[in-house]
Amino acid sequence: MALKCGIVGLPNVGKSTLFNCLSSAKAQAANFPFCTIEPNLGVITVPDERLNKLAEIVHPGRIVPATCEIVDIAGLVKGASKGEGLGNKFLGNIRECDAIIHVVRCFEDDNVVREGGMAVNPVEDKEIIDTELQLKDLETIESQLSKQQKVAAAGNKEAKLMVSVLEAYKEVLEQGKNARSVEFDSKEEQQAAHDLFLLTTKPVLYVCNVDEDSAKTGNEYSRQIEQIAAEEGAEAMVIAAKTEEDIASLDSYEDKKMFLEELGLEESGVSRLIKKAYHLLNLQTFITAGEMEVKAWTFHKGWKAPQCAGVIHTDFEKGFIRAEVIKYDDYLRYGSEAAIREAGKLGIEGKDYVVQDGDIMHFRFNV
């Protein structure tokens, strides 16, 4: 289950610096590599300290963490919705992503000119991008609406449903709000809304790019964005991209850790960002652990055991019999599967078991 996040932001906000830091993420936690598919696309692993802890017990041949794709989407300027800059390509790239990482400039630097040469204004920067995406969504809505209204007039029930969905979106977009603020009650409406693939329905993480002194607590600019994010029901975080670049340039893991401690940080901003991006879509991890490998598997929060079995192989879901479940803390406490069984801590779960983040799973199936 691949997660694809697009990094967006106006020119000179630190977007590419952040992407370059992500490309060095393997140095943040020893076993988590990064590979570049093309210049603006990378597959990056989700840091998960639990895998290393389990590997110390199991001694597997390899560790396989969960992954997500990060795309550095270039070309957004004011007017992108009308094709300015690389507008059309930019908007097409966003459409392919599951979530948006929106980088906002929250630092002062006379050597880095803000687009248009104006004073730093993170709220206005955010609104420029929001407006471009909203305008593109409105264009999509209006082109669909006229077609669906004609079909609905002929009595088509599906078209009538789609018209009501389109009109609900049109109303909020014309008010300068994002489409994600609209909620639908019925499954039919939710499916129709999903099939539109609107840009502003995608979950967003606002990344406030601050100076080094503000890396731990943020600043006045970042607090403005955090407040807006809270009002929107979105997530926000603070990161000092230039400082992350300095951390990434250090040779050893120990040096990086020392640098972070000096800043009063427990882990790098890049590591926190990857984890937040992974959880942005309500994703969690279950683990399989054996001599061959310790592996993280991605699933949607709330999934039951057969659905998670299907993540490994469709046959596992079709022929699901039961799941043997070990809690992560129990694995660490008892030190082996045999000791866990002896202590009566191995859970035997059926089809209705809701898998929890960090569960160590073994599926029994028959096809």
Q: What is the pLDDT of residues 62-104, one digit of tens each?
A: 999 988 888 887 656 566 556 554 445 666 778 888 899 999 9
The verdict on whether residue 301 carries a ligand-binding annotation is no
**Among residues of the chain, what percentage have pLDDT more than 70?**
89
pLDDT at 331: 96
Cβ neighbours of residue 232 under 8 Å, at least 6 residues apart?
178, 180, 181, 204
Q: Is the model's pLDDT at 184 over the cut of 90? A: yes
Q: Phi and psi (nearest 5°) for 220? A: -60, -40
Q: Where in the chain is the domain with CATH 3.40.50.300?
A: 3-118+202-279
Length of the chain measured in residues: 367
The verdict on whether residue 347 carries a ligand-binding annotation is no
The verdict on whether residue 79 carries a ligand-binding annotation is no
Which homologous superfamily is 302-365 in?
A: Beta-grasp domain (3.10.20.30)
The average confidence (pLDDT) of the chain is 86
pLDDT at 343: 96
Q: Is the model's pLDDT at 255 over the cut of 90? A: no
Top pLDDT among 44 and 217 is at: 217
The pTM score is: 0.81
| Average pLDDT for 264-280 | 83
pLDDT tens digits, residue range 132-143? 889 989 989 999
| Average pLDDT for 187-210 | 93
Specify which residues 284 forms β-bridges with: 299
The band of 206, judged by pLDDT with boundaries at 50, 70 and 90, is: very high
Report how far residue 115's alpha carbon sits from residue 21's, in angstroms, rounded to the nearest whole number.
Answer: 23
Q: Which two tokens stand for residue 123?
A: 């709220």
Report how far residue 315's alpha carbon sits from residue 309's, in angstroms, rounded to the nearest whole number.
Answer: 8
- CATH of the domain spanning 3-118+202-279: 3.40.50.300
Residues 60, 289 contacting (CB under 8 angstroms):
yes
pLDDT at 80: 52
Provide the CB-side half-sphere exposure for 9 (13 A, CA): 26
Q: Phi and psi (nearest 5°) for 354? A: -90, 115
Say how many C-beta atoms besides its own lie within 10 A of residue 4's C-beta.
17
Report how far residue 7's alpha carbon sits from residue 102's, in angstroms, rounded to the nearest whole number.
Answer: 6
The verdict on whether residue 268 carries a ligand-binding annotation is no
The verdict on whether residue 6 carries a ligand-binding annotation is no
The band of 306, judged by pLDDT with boundaries at 50, 70 and 90, is: very high
- CATH of the domain spanning 134-200: 1.10.150.300
Report how far residue 198's alpha carbon sits from residue 15's, in angstroms, rounded to the nearest whole number.
Answer: 23
The verdict on whether residue 201 carries a ligand-binding annotation is no
Q: Where in the chain is the domain with CATH 1.10.150.300?
A: 134-200
pLDDT tens digits, residue range 234-248? 899 999 988 888 887
DSSP class of residue 354 equals B
Q: List the one residue out of 238, 203, 235 whose CA is nearest residue 219.
A: 238
Q: Where in the chain is the domain with CATH 3.10.20.30?
A: 302-365
Q: Is the model's pLDDT at 276 over the cut of 50? A: yes
Report how far residue 289's alpha carbon sits from residue 57's, in angstroms, rounded to the nearest whole number.
Answer: 10
pLDDT at 114: 72
Residues 291, 60 contacting (CB under 8 angstroms):
yes
Residues 132/271/56/329 CA torsion (nearest 10 deg): -80
Range in 27-31, 76-80, 107-111, 330-334 with the lowest mean pLDDT:
27-31
Q: List the one residue out of 283, 270, 262, 124 whose CA is nearest residue 207.
A: 270
